[in-house]
Amino acid sequence: MSERHAILHAMEAALPTLETDAVTPDASLAGYAAPRLDLPPLTMAELETWFRGGEPEADACEQLLAWAARARGALDLAIGEGLDALRHGDRLAELGYHLDDYAREVLDLGKRSAESLARLGAGLRARPLLRDALRSGRVRIRAAETVLPVAVGEAEALWVERASVQTVRELEGAVRAARAPAGDDEDEWVQLRTHLPPDERLVVDEALAAAREQLPGSTRTEQLEALAQEYLGEFSTDGDSDGTRPLGPGFRACGLGPPARRAAVGAATDRWAELPPVPELAAPQVSFDEASTAQEIDERLRALARLRVGWDRLIGFCGLAVKRSGMHVLLGYGGFRQYVEERLGLPARAVEQRVALEKRLWESPPLQEARRQGVSYEKLRVLARLPETDMASWLPRALGATCITLKREVEGERERQMRARQKLLVPLPRRVAVLLAAAIEAVRGRFGRVLSTGTCLAVLAFHFLASWRGAERRSKSRSKKVRERDQGWCQVPGCSHRAAHSHHIDFRSHGGSDDPENQVGLCAFHHLRCIHGGFLRVFGRAPDGLTWRLGGRVWRGPPALSANVSETATPTEFCVEGRAWTSR
């Protein structure tokens, strides 16, 4: 068997070959398992040989990527319906999670992806034609997400037909025309990056703390927005909210803008329309009906997520190979984003993030070792932010901690490093960046000279402190003291939400005291829905001696998602360009 046919044979092993009405989820999903390929990183010379030299392996790699995208899209549809089912009744409370935390810690899905899939699952309940087209594979997820807002009522059939034949760019234009008054709700993000000496840092930190006190539970973005609003309230300038204004040297773009701007990037040709189509792949028949318990839905979602991990690794590897080689341009696409949306039929942001992580993996032996030891995708994204020399020391923590705990600890370490280098680095939505840039411009205009961005921030901070210095300072309640001790976060393992309440571990009605050791900070969901709903219990003394019980069992957080996602795939061994590749 030739190398090319060996790769294609391994790819075909992932197609559904079993009936999908078996008793257990794992059995019903066996035909959706990805081929387990040992794919070592490629050098630029190897990519040049494969893709520029017209080798058949390049075509096979691109076809494998297209197939992997089809398979992941089918699994994502089922996951979206499962996530939507979890939101009904007390199912999430029974599992002890917010939806975004469940997706991240249990299914290895980022918040944005999980919310998009759950929104799609909810929308399909009232759109049977779109749901049937998605489940059959006739319409792909990216197209379905685009037409979801307008495919309602009598118009549903028309939009389903358009979604099955038109490009994503054409659909976006048609949907914008149909929803002209609604506008685009996707916000562009930029990065504030500036030098901030220690004396100016002290003023900024104090002002952010004051803003946090006035806006409980606020993020640093919201606190910076408050500083800018306070200054512009007294020293306003013309065009404070002009979104088209240049932001200045302290701001850098950290992503592409809304779809209307992205569509104009790159001049595409029609060559990609001549590519052989990828055959339709039906979504797995997994039931999430009203009678399903939270535990049954959880079991099915975990099975789907294990399969998704296998396809996701192929998308990362093949996606990076295609992007670095420029094959998407040779195929006639205007850019990689257009290739992802039109050829792969997936949301571009998620694929671009996956490809970016794969690039980091190719360059980082410690990160490769972390993946070999079973560190999840979301945790790998967190570790990838660390300097190369620090990754190995963080590996034991990554294996033992929840994803949100690891993220907070890594962010704290990065913050300490930035402070030592006298740098401030904050991602901001463009609307907040425009407001902050206007306030910085007002500072420079008021003082009549060009000040650094860091100095301008210190001026904004000083003005905020002066404005609120006379505000009445109330004494802190016991609840607030407890929440401050807990760093303002809910203490339930795996929870990423702010603590809004303090809970008495031994109820006051049972003789419990108001001592800080008998109180723990919790978000409203875990306090009211989970604990007082009878699903979750906590024992011991705060903050370090707590034991949690969920459903009658000791609970220390989510178990790791099994990495053995493709045990049912057909074994295949082959060699390409002197490399031993294995599919099993």
Query: How do the domains of the chain map onto residue ranges?
Result: 478-555
The secondary structure of 258-302 as a DSSP string is -HHHHTTSS---SGGGGSPPPPP-PPP-----TT--HHHHHHHHH
Taking CA atoms, 484 is separated from 213, 472, 559, in Å, by 11, 20, 29
Query: Looking at the predicted structure, is the pLDDT value of residue 19 above 50?
Result: no
pLDDT digits (tens, 9 = 90+) for 223-260: 999 999 999 988 876 655 555 667 878 888 775 455 44
More confident position, 492 or 573: 492
Q: What is the pLDDT of residue 18?
A: 30
**Which residue type, as a one-letter code, is found at position 14?**
A
Q: What is the pLDDT of residue 360?
A: 94
- Give the H or E element holding residue 416: helix 403-420
Which of 142, 176, 171 is closest to 159 using CA atoms?
171
Token pair of 254, please? 């950290």
- Which letter does DSSP use for residue 525 in this model? I
More confident position, 362 or 275: 362
The answer to whether 191 touches 418, Cβ cutoff 8 Å, is no
Query: Looking at the predicted structure, is the pLDDT value of residue 28 above 80?
Result: no
Q: Which of 9-23, 152-166, 257-271 has the lowest mean pLDDT?
A: 9-23
Q: What is the pLDDT of residue 55?
A: 63
Q: How confident is the model at residue 24 (pLDDT cuts 50, 70, 90)?
A: very low
Q: What is the pLDDT of residue 138?
A: 94
Q: How confident is the model at residue 476 (pLDDT cuts 50, 70, 90)?
A: confident
- Give the H or E element holding residue 144: helix 141-147
**Which residue type, as a one-letter code, is found at position 363?**
E
What's the CA angle centered on 522, arms 520 and 523, to 5 degrees? 170
Compute the average pLDDT of residues 519-533: 96
Q: What is the pLDDT of residue 5?
A: 44
Q: Which of 29-38, 279-288, 545-554 has the lowest mean pLDDT?
A: 29-38
Query: Looking at the predicted structure, is the pLDDT value of residue 371 above 90?
Result: yes
Q: What is the pLDDT of residue 562?
A: 53
More confident position, 28 or 17: 28
Compute the average pLDDT of residues 552-558: 84
Count Cβ atoms within 10 A of the Cβ of residue 423 and give its class: 0-12 exposed, 13-18 middle, 19 or more buried: middle
The answer to whether 432 touches 177, Cβ cutoff 8 Å, is no
Q: Which of 24-28, 90-94, 316-320 has the lowest mean pLDDT?
A: 24-28
Strand order in the sheet with 189-195: 251-253, 189-195, 423-429
Residues 6+ positions from 72 with CB-CB distance below 8 Å = 308, 311, 312, 315, 346
Residues 6+ positions from 36 with CB-CB distance below 8 Å = 310, 565, 566, 569, 582, 583, 584
More confident position, 62 or 298: 298
Query: Alpha-carbon distance 131 to 144, whole Å?
Result: 9
Facing residues of 428 across strands? 190
The 3-state DSSP composition of the chain as helix, strand, coil percent (nearest 5) reads: 55, 10, 35
Compute the average pLDDT of residues 130-155: 94
The secondary structure of 200-229 as a DSSP string is HHHHHHHHHHHHHHHSTT--HHHHHHHHHH
Q: How confident is the model at residue 391 (pLDDT cuts 50, 70, 90)?
A: very high
Token pair of 144, please? 């379905």
More confident position, 197 or 253: 197
Query: 408-413 long-range CB contacts below 8 Å, 24 or more apart?
Result: 408/489, 410/382, 410/383, 410/385, 410/386, 413/386
The answer to whether 480 touches 468, Cβ cutoff 8 Å, is no
Query: Looking at the predicted structure, is the pLDDT value of residue 578 above 70?
Result: no
Q: How confident is the model at residue 506 (pLDDT cuts 50, 70, 90)?
A: very high
Q: What is the pLDDT of residue 71?
A: 93
pLDDT digits (tens, 9 = 90+) for 30-77: 678 888 777 788 777 877 776 666 667 778 888 889 999 999 999 999
Q: What is the pLDDT of residue 560?
A: 61
Query: Looking at the predicted structure, is the pLDDT value of residue 88 above 90?
Result: yes
- Give the H or E element holding residue 441: helix 430-447
Q: What is the pLDDT of residue 450?
A: 80
What percentage of the chain exceeds 90 in pLDDT? 56
Query: Looking at the predicted structure, is the pLDDT value of residue 459 above 80?
Result: yes
Q: What is the pLDDT of residue 302?
A: 95
Query: Alpha-carbon distance 36 to 14, whole Å?
Result: 10
Q: Which of 156-160, 364-368, 569-573 has the lowest mean pLDDT?
A: 569-573
Compute the average pLDDT of residues 4-16: 45
Compute the average pLDDT of residues 508-528: 93
Which of 206, 196, 159, 197 is closest to 178 using CA atoms?
159
Q: What is the pLDDT of residue 378?
A: 94
Rounded to the nearest integer, the mean pLDDT of the chain is 83
Q: What is the pLDDT of residue 132?
A: 96
Q: How confident is the model at residue 272 (pLDDT cuts 50, 70, 90)?
A: low
Query: Alpha-carbon distance 488 to 482, whole Å?
Result: 9
Query: Looking at the predicted structure, is the pLDDT value of residue 265 above 60?
Result: no
SS3 252: strand
CA 490 to chain centre: 21
Q: What is the pLDDT of residue 332?
A: 86
Query: Alpha-carbon distance 274 to 462, whole Å?
Result: 61
Neighbours of 489 (CB within 10 A): 18
Q: How confident is the model at residue 470 (pLDDT cuts 50, 70, 90)?
A: low
Compute the average pLDDT of residues 376-400: 93
Compute the average pLDDT of residues 114-143: 95
More confident position, 578 or 118: 118
Peptide bond connecting 35 to the previous residue in cis, omega within 30 degrees of 0: no
Count Cβ atoms within 10 A of the Cβ of residue 64 and give its class: 0-12 exposed, 13-18 middle, 19 or more buried: buried
pLDDT digits (tens, 9 = 90+) for 354-364: 999 999 999 99
